[in-house]
C-alpha cells in the first residue's frame, strides 16, 4: 500500500472494501441515507443533520461546511 495511505505505519483504509456501481438515483439515495445515518447508528448524534461533517444538513434544508452539488 502506498505510504500516502499510512499514518505512523498504521493502515488508514480497509483492505476488504467492495466498490459498488451507483447505476440509478434510487441506489444513490439509498447509499447517501446509509452514510448520513452512520453517526446516528454509532450513537454520536441523535439526528443525521447534527453531524458537523455530514451533507445531511444540506439535504434537510440547511447549509453544511462545504457547498454540495445535488444529483
Looking at residue 17, what is its pLDDT?
73
**1 pLDDT higher than 70:** no
CA dihedral 39, 44, 47, 51 (to 10 degrees): -70
pLDDT in tens, 40-61: 999 999 999 999 999 999 988 9
The full set of domain ranges for the chain reads 17-71
C-alpha cell at 41: 447508528
Q: What secondary structure letter does DSSP report for 50?
A: G
Place of cell 459498488: 20
6 neighbors 12 (Cβ within 8 angstroms): yes
Amino acid at each position: 500500500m502506498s505510504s500516502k495511505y499510512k499514518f505512523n505505519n498504521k493502515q488508514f483504509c480497509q483492505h476488504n472494501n467492495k466498490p459498488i456501481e451507483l447505476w440509478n438515483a434510487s441506489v444513490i439515495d439509498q447509499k447517501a441515507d446509509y452514510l448520513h445515518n452512520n453517526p446516528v447508528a454509532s450513537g454520536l448524534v441523535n439526528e443525521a443533520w447534527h453531524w458537523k461533517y455530514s451533507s445531511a444538513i444540506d439535504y434537510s434544508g440547511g447549509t453544511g461546511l462545504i457547498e454540495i452539488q445535488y444529483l
